[in-house]
Amino acid sequence: MFLVVLSSTLILFITYHLYHYTLHLKEVNRVKHIPGYSFYSYFTLKLFAPQQDFLFSPRSQELNAKKFGKHNIWRITMGTDTICFVVDPEHYKDILVTKAKLFRKHPLFNNLNIDYRVKNVFTDYGDSWKRERRLTQPSFSDENLAKILKEHVHRISNRLVEKIWERRNLENNCVVINDWMRRVTLDVISQAGFGAQFDCLGNEKDILPLIAKTIVQVYSAGLLFNRRYIEPHAHVQQKLREEVIREVPLEGIDFDLYQNKEKLIYARNVLNETLRLKGPVHTNTRYTLKPVEIAGKTVPKGVTVEMKFCVSQMDKEIWGEDTLQFCPERFERPEIKDLLKQNRYVFIPFSIGSRTCIGMKFAEMEILDVICRMVRNFRFQCQNQRDVREVAGITLKPADDIVIKLERIEL
């Protein structure tokens, strides 16, 4: 009896894998004209390429861009699924603007702690998405953003300064900044977006598991990477502080920041350089609705296409030989200014086209407000700069705690 059960199980196991291997070969044949890699399953991918994360690692995609050519398209086929990759800004234009109707938001986003049965502006597509976008857009008008900044963001940023100093380690004046950035982000989003006051800055309990973490991760990761890059560069801190004091008078910071945002040239350069090097949205994903030509290759229907911003935003041909260095002054260089005017697609940290991040201005103003408040009140220094690893998934974020030492500035 045991042998019968064992034999039956073995036959079922072999039949199952033969069937799926046949489907895998069919998928490989469908996309064989696109250069790349083929693996029967994710397990075999990790078995034969254990040192690199072919799906998410920015470093891995840099190597693939060199291998296949950065102006070309390449793929990874796992089982019956194929993911294509592009790193050329001209291809971003095709996917996000010129041929945008041939793509949709990837179905994966339906699983991000958002009820997929409810239509929403983040995951929907087609006519229903257009209606949702049209209804949502007025909430992010200049008038509303100025009101939100004045009534909510300033107050919450002030509270951040108070709480972060109050709860610092009294022995060394150090704090772990990760949790504080998540909390201030959640307080801003909940108050400005939903009229709810969670008071995460004052609540020591972690309520993040109760809300949609992914949205918070995108905003807070931008703040975290901004802290990480500003802290080791004392001259950046000082130059930033001088601009804030000069352009945003202390008595006016609660009222005029939105109107004076164009005067904060260096602060915006710091933000842009942070987003260039470590943008939370390091990749953008689409799903083909019909066969579409990209880089001279026909990508079949039902294929995932990933645009790796993290690669093009580190391209030496675009950004210069010092592309790996944190240099906010980069955005003041005449050649970079001219390039950004001529080709909008070389730097799109909030995407571009009809699906540009609807909260782009909101995110920029939140980060600028927190930056202004922090540099005006503190000098800070990262205590573990070299030890902080990153994890790349749908968003890029620090995998480890970022510890900073605070020095209070008397106003």
267-290 confidence digits (pLDDT tens): 999 999 989 988 888 888 999 999
What is the average pLDDT across 13-41? 89
Q: Final residue of a domain: which of 243, 270, 303? A: 303
Mean of the per-residue pLDDT values for the chain? 80
The Cα 241–Cα 409 span in angstroms is: 11
| Any domain includes 117 | no
Q: Which of 160, 225, 221 is nearest to 187 (CA)?
A: 160
Of 120-134, 164-178, 318-332, 346-360, the range with the lowest mean pLDDT is 120-134
Determine the length of the chain: 411
Note whether 165 and 201 are same-domain residues.
Answer: yes
| Any domain includes 115 | no
Say which CATH number the domain at 351 has.
Answer: 1.10.630.10
Note whether 52 and 182 are same-domain residues.
Answer: no
Query: Which position has the higher pLDDT, 327 or 249?
Result: 327
pLDDT at 197: 66
Note whether 225 and 347 are same-domain residues.
Answer: yes
What is the average pLDDT across 317-339? 92
Note whether 166 and 296 are same-domain residues.
Answer: no
Q: How many domains does the chain have?
A: 2
| Any domain includes 355 | yes
Note whether 297 and 224 are same-domain residues.
Answer: no
Instruction: Record the pTM.
Output: 0.83
β-pair partners for 398: 390
Note whether 225 and 333 are same-domain residues.
Answer: yes
pLDDT above 70: residue 64: yes
pLDDT above 90: residue 27: yes
pLDDT above 60: residue 87: yes
| Any domain includes 173 | yes
Q: Which of 397, 338, 294, 310 is nearest to 63 (CA)?
A: 310
Note whether 89 and 148 are same-domain residues.
Answer: no
The Cα 355–Cα 43 span in angstroms is: 34
Q: Which of 18, 34, 22 is nearest to 82 (CA)?
A: 34
Residue 367 confidence class, pLDDT cut points 50, 70, 90: confident
User: 253: which 2 tokens?
Assistant: 């910071």
| Any domain includes 124 | no
The set of residues, in sequence order, having a beta carbon less than 8 Å from that of 223 and lying 6+ positions away, is: 181, 184, 185, 366, 367, 370
Interval 185-227: pLDDT, tens:
778 777 766 566 666 777 766 555 444 444 444 444 555 555 5
Q: Final residue of a domain: which of 234, 269, 303? A: 303
| Any domain includes 238 | yes
The Cα 129–Cα 113 span in angstroms is: 19
Contact 272/333 with Cβ under 8 angstroms? no
Count of Cβ atoms closer than 10 Å to residue 327 Cβ: 19
What is the average pLDDT across 171-178? 86
What is the average pLDDT across 15-28? 88
Note whether 354 and 233 are same-domain residues.
Answer: yes
Query: Which position has the higher pLDDT, 316 or 385?
Result: 316
β-pair partners for 407: 379
The H-or-E segment that residue 305 falls in is strand 304-307
Note whether 203 and 82 are same-domain residues.
Answer: no
pLDDT above 70: residue 48: no
Note whether 227 and 353 are same-domain residues.
Answer: yes
pLDDT at 210: 44
The Cα 105–Cα 154 span in angstroms is: 34
Alpha carbon 157 to its chain centroid, in Å, reads 22
The H-or-E segment that residue 378 falls in is strand 378-382
Residue 250 confidence class, pLDDT cut points 50, 70, 90: low
Note whether 216 and 323 are same-domain residues.
Answer: yes
Say which CATH number the domain at 60 has.
Answer: 3.30.43.20
| Any domain includes 6 | yes
pLDDT above 80: residue 49: no
Q: Which domain holds residue 182?
A: 141-281+314-408
Note whether 295 and 336 are same-domain residues.
Answer: no
| Any domain includes 68 | yes
Contact 161/377 with Cβ under 8 angstroms? yes
Share of the chain above pLDDT 70, in %: 77
Please calculate the CA angle 304-307-308 and round it to the nearest 5 degrees: 125
Residue 98 confidence class, pLDDT cut points 50, 70, 90: very high
Q: Final residue of a domain: which of 272, 303, 334? A: 303
Is 357 annotated as contributing to ligand binding? yes
* Pairing between β-strand 174-176 and β-strand 297-299 as defined by DSSP bridges: unpaired
Residue 44 confidence class, pLDDT cut points 50, 70, 90: low
The Cα 87–Cα 319 span in angstroms is: 14
Strand order in the sheet with 36-39: 36-39, 74-78, 81-86, 304-307, 284-288, 103-105
